Amino acid sequence: MSNQHFSGRCLCGAIQFKVAAKPLREVNCHCDNCRRATGSPYGALAFVPEEALTVNGETPGSYSHSSDRGSEMEKLFCTKCGSQLFTRNNARVGMMGVRIGVIDDASWFKPTVNVYRSRALPSTPIDGEINSFEKMSG
């Protein structure tokens, strides 16, 4: 398994997916929305071209909210088990964020940026070697 082609599923297995592309961007996001949506100290995402993503099984549920820049963010999740799977932003058409935790083997994951660095919990280790943005980038 490499990051050229990877697969994943939700906790209960009702939704499975495959990605046939190398991620364009690998990110840790420390914003409050990622924290709430994931129930974790931060969100970790690989952004891929939406057309490279194939979803099988149940149709994911959807929840939309506004980002602090006013764009519409959509969260996609399993309505049976509640796993967060994907996220997209209408300011970035054609891109889909895949949650690292639902990927079968994400050992390749290597974030190159910390977003909302200013919101990181004090206990979260931050790699000082990679870029940080105090808020959303781009």
Residue ranges in contact with Zn ion by CB under 5 A: 10, 12, 14, 29, 31, 34, 78, 80-81
Task: Kindly state the smallest distance separating residue 61's Cβ from Zn ion, in Å.
Answer: 10
Q: Which residues make beta-bridge pairs with 64?
A: 74
Which of 131, 133, 112, 103 lies closest to 6 in space, CA to CA? 103
Task: Kindly state the smallest distance separating residue 93's Cβ from Zn ion, in Å.
Answer: 19
Closer to Zn ion by CB, 50 or 67: give it.
67
Task: Kindly state the smallest distance separating residue 101's Cβ from Zn ion, in Å.
Answer: 13
Q: How far is CA 120 from CA 28, 58, 88, 130, in A?
A: 10, 34, 22, 15
Closer to Zn ion by CB, 14 or 52: give it.
14
Which of 86, 28, 91 lies closest to 52 in space, CA to CA? 86
Task: Kindly state the smallest distance separating residue 47's Cβ from Zn ion, in Å.
Answer: 12
Which of 3, 52, 25, 40 lies closest to 136 in space, CA to CA? 25
Structure token digits, residue 137: 């980038």
Structure token digits, residue 128: 């000082």
Closer to Zn ion by CB, 29 or 120: give it.
29
Closer to Zn ion by CB, 2 or 125: give it.
125
